[in-house]
Amino acid sequence: MEIKKVYHQLKTGSGVEFTTSDLVWIDGVPTVVLKWKSFNSGSGVPEVVIPLDPACLHPLTGWPDATYMYEWALEDPRAGQL
């Protein structure tokens, strides 16, 4: 699984923050990974994810911490649980 980085806004229970998250493609859909489930073997699988609209995902050049930017703010599905 190829992992890239995406810069985006994330709505949490305390407001909106700018952050960088892992970006993977699941069944061809760009997807932000907010949390990975790790196994004793050292491998992991995406556990908390948000699928993205590909039309709003843009490549970045010259950014050291991210290779993509997402236009819209994403809502953290864990916001009510944090």
| pLDDT digit string (tens) for the chain, length 82 residues | 899 999 999 998 788 999 999 999 999 999 999 999 988 776 789 999 999 999 999 999 998 999 999 999 999 998 766 4
> In terms of residues, how long is the chain?
82
Question: How many domains are there within the chain?
Answer: 1
Look at residue 63 and tell me if it is in a domain.
yes
Task: Pull the structure tokens for residue 6.
Answer: 């995406």
DSSP state of 77: T
pLDDT value of residue 81: 62
Look at residue 40 and tell me if it is in a domain.
yes
* Whole-structure pTM value: 0.87
Look at residue 80 and tell me if it is in a domain.
no
Look at residue 46 and tell me if it is in a domain.
yes
Residue type, 73: A
Q: How many whole angstroms from its chain centre is CA 60? A: 15
pLDDT value of residue 15: 87
Domain extent for 38:
4-75
Look at residue 17 and tell me if it is in a domain.
yes
